[in-house]
Amino acid sequence: MKKLLLLLVIAMASISMAIASPVDCGYTPNVLSLNPDGCNVGVLTFSNFAVHPTPEAVIALSSVATIGSNVNLTFSLAQAPTTPPFDVILSYTVTGGILGIDNAIGTATGNVTIIETAYASPGNTGLLGSLISSIGSPAEAMFPGGPASPVYISKDIQVTTGAISDFTNSHTTPEPMSFVLMGTGLLGLGLIRRIRK
């Protein structure tokens, strides 16, 4: 019995360590420098960054934060086309399983809108969710089918008048407690099977 309890404690500790893995995304003056491997935040991997138009637009990854079940990436428009109106498109891939996305515009003036879409397949197919955010009006989209991976995200940053310097994209992951409960349940089933033998 003591061996079974010890095994249960070790299994739960390893699950907790897997959930709380260190952040290795950091400030990046140009997201394109993260290609081709991308970067990791906890269980999520962000890769395949693309920015259009280049070289007129340069997007930096200015900060990364994990808040509860959300992984927040703050992007800065480090270089933009010189005069509005203009469109800048940022796209990237998220693997590891997310439940939804949301977007909040940070420092901006004038008429700025971000249209964001999430797809299940490359080439803008298999729509998972879409949202439109503007200054002071963050938007959120939860995927109706539950966690998805990989997710192909496209953000269309439209500046009609004024300017934008940063925006934050939040990726909702399944609650860590769900992983612990699932791992404990699987371990329990394994123990019951072993005891029956």
pLDDT tens profile 50-99: 999 989 999 999 999 998 889 999 999 999 998 899 999 999 999 999 99
pLDDT of res. 77: 94
The answer to whether residues 111 and 132 touch, using CB atoms and an 8 Å cutoff, is no
Domains for the chain: give ranges and CATH numbers: 23-175 (2.60.120)
The answer to whether residues 160 and 114 touch, using CB atoms and an 8 Å cutoff, is no
Class of residue 165 by CB neighbours under 10 A (exposed 0-12, middle 13-18, buried 19+) = middle
* Mean pLDDT (whole number) for 15-31: 65
pLDDT of res. 193: 73
Of 101, 97, 172, 92, nearest to 141 (Cα)? Answer: 101
CA 29 to chain centre: 19
Give the global pTM.
0.77
Nearest-angstrom CA–CA distance, 87 and 114: 10
* Per-residue pLDDT at 39 exceeds 80: yes
pLDDT band at 186 (very low <50, low <70, confident <90, very high): low
Could you read off the pLDDT of 124-153 as tens digits, one per residue?
A: 899 999 999 999 999 999 999 999 999 999
Residue-averaged pLDDT of the chain = 85
